[in-house]
Each structure stands twice: as C-alpha cells, then as structure tokens.
Amino acid sequence: MRKAGWIVLGAVAGLATGCAGSPPAKQRPAGDSKPQPSQPVKRDLPEGMHKLGEGVTTEEGTWRLTPSVLTMVTPSSRAKGLPRGWRAAKMTWTLTNKTSEVQQLLDVSSTVRYGAMGRPAAVFTDSGIEGIPDAISDDPPRVKPGGAYALTVGVAVPADAAGEPVTITTRPSTLFGDTGDVDFFEGPFPGAAARKDSLLHPRPAPDTRKALAFGQWKADPQMTVDHVRQDGTAGGRATFSGELTVRNAAAVADLPYTPMKKSLRVYYGDELKEAELIPSGTGSADTGFIAPQRAATHTFHFSLPKGAKAESVTVEVTDLGNAEATFEGKIAD
C-alpha cells in the first residue's frame, strides 16, 4: 500500500485588545494570573500513523487515500478467503484523483494484521465486497479529475479478536514495482470494546552470546520465537509449527521502516541437523512494513525426516543471510 502523508496540527491563539474609551478590562484573580504550563498533545497513535477514517495524500499529491472504519458484516455462502469461524467486517477505501487529468486508478497493496502480536488478518471477498481491483492491466479503472473511486475490502479475524486493533499498511505499486509511499492506519475490529492491553511491551533479555529460550526477546532487533509444537504428519514425517514475532521499536513512522523480511533455519538433535521448512500459505511471511511500536507475527512450518524424533529444536533467524538471533527450546505438546 502507499505511503501515508503527515498531519500537522497547529493551535492559534487569539489576542484581544481594548479600544480607546472602552471600560477597562476586568482583572483576573491573582490565582488565575499565573501562566499555565503547555501540555503536550496526547497522541492515540505514534507519529506518522493514522486512525481509520483519516485520509492521506500519496504519490506526490496525485491521490488521496481514505480507508473507512471497519463495520461488521454477515458473510454469505459466496465468501472467498474467509476462515471458518472467523468474524467478518468490511471497510471502504476512497481514492480521490487530486490532479486536473484523467488518472489510471492507483494500484494499492496492503498488509493487514490484528492484535498486539500483529498476527495476519484474512482479507476476503463476497457479494458487494469486491476487494482491490487490478489497476495494472490492459484496461484499468480510470478516475476523472477531482473524481473519487470507492472500493470495498473485507477483513476477518478470529472470533476472540473482536475489539483488538487492526493495523493496515498500504503501499502503492506501479508497472515498475512498489513506490516509497508507505502509510499506516489503525482502528479497532468491531464487536467489542477496544482493548486497553493492545500494545506489546516486551522485556528484552540481557545481551548474551548464548541462544535465547523460546519466548525470550532479543533486544536489537526486537524479536522472539515461541509456540513451537507438533501439528500433524505428512507422508510419514512429523510436521511442526512455530511463531516468529518481530517488533518495530521506532517511535515514529519514518525511514527505515522495519520490514517483516526474515528467513529461518531450524535444527534438531545433538548434531544440529537441519529440518526441512515447509512453504506455508495462510500466515506465510510477507514483506509488508511494520508500523512504529507495533509487531508482526509469522507462522512457520517445518518437518523432520521419517523416524527422526526431537524433544527440542534450535531456530536461527537470518536477514539477507546474516544471523540475527538464535532461539532454542522444547517442542510443546
């Protein structure tokens, strides 16, 4: 999706002056004459993030993108991409052409996560929920000068995630690839009161050359591996899953963003033999950037050879081939 613009709020103070001949202004009581200390503006979100319903200007002022708040929907039998038992909601994205020329509809990609751990939400389509159209095609949608194009996007989360924050990262794309305009939006998933414990505040482990235990946090970059468990068998091989969570510790949405772009190696046994990673569909790693003070969780899958057994495993996290952290622990039942 595209990069969000910045909103600057300013306050203007007015001064009143008396006119000649007018009665003198009343003096304030002495207790009220002391100047009041300025109070910092309290932000609900880190600087550079936007609430759902706010608009941002993107693509060098060419477009304005306004994603609405989420509203609950009852999916039909035609819904696609909706996991069984998940809650469904929809939102409207309004793309306004800010130029004086006819424009091909801006192509926007998005990453949608929910909750403090930033787990992947599902994006689905249904009757009246068409999703994001293919704007890079032989006959793309076009928008007249000053005109607006509205599209409806479906978002789903597990049943117990109502009220949790939904964080959406948008970035425009062109024929030549993604642009640098990255924007972050956030708002609660409907159906319950917004949770106060929606932010993640990890306590990094002391800096050490030893491997960290599952559930411990590395300080820089902030990340952890946890919930490694067996989840089945395939072709006579035991299969397992685990979660890698990465957090962007930045205070504002400014470059460089922290992308969820990590690779994993999983080892088992005393000889640290390498397990086979299984390409995953739902919950697979994405390259969407992580908003400031927010986290992203990727579920990874691996298998062991036939007959191989392991009570514990070691997981190495790498970025562009460079090892960043090592975690080890027992496989949960």
Task: Provide the percentage of residues in the chain whose pLDDT is more than 70.
Answer: 81
Three-state DSSP at 281 gives coil
- Mean pLDDT is lowest, of 83-92, 172-181, 305-314, for 172-181
Is residue 146 scored above 50 in pLDDT?
Answer: yes
Distance CA 271, CA 282 (A): 32
pLDDT score recorded for residue 82: 97
What average pLDDT is seen over the chain? 84
Q: Say whether pLDDT at 261 is over 70.
A: yes
Total residue length of the chain: 333
- Residue 132 tokens read as 């994001």
Q: Mean pLDDT lowest for which of 27-41, 42-56, 61-75, 290-304?
A: 27-41
Instruction: Give the model's pLDDT for residue 23.
Output: 43
Please state the rounded mean pLDDT for residues 127-154: 92
- DSSP annotation of 199 reads S
The 10 Å Cβ neighbour count of residue 215 is 12
- Report the first-to-last Cα separation within the chain, whole angstroms: 39
Neighbouring residues of 52: CB distance < 8 A, sequence distance ≥ 6? 67, 68, 69, 70, 91, 166, 168, 185, 186, 187
pLDDT at 38 over 60: no
Residue 154: Cβ within 10 Å count: 24
Q: Give me the DSSP letters along 97-126.
A: E-SSS-EEPPEEEEEEEETTTTEEPEEEBB
pLDDT of residue 31: 42
List residues bridging with 225 in a β-sheet.
244
Q: Is the pLDDT score of 49 beyond 90?
A: yes
Span 212-238, average pLDDT: 94
Q: What's the pLDDT score for residue 179?
A: 64
pLDDT at site 177 = 59
pLDDT score recorded for residue 275: 96
What pLDDT does residue 211 have? 94
Tokens coding 249: 């510790």
d(CA 166, CA 238): 34
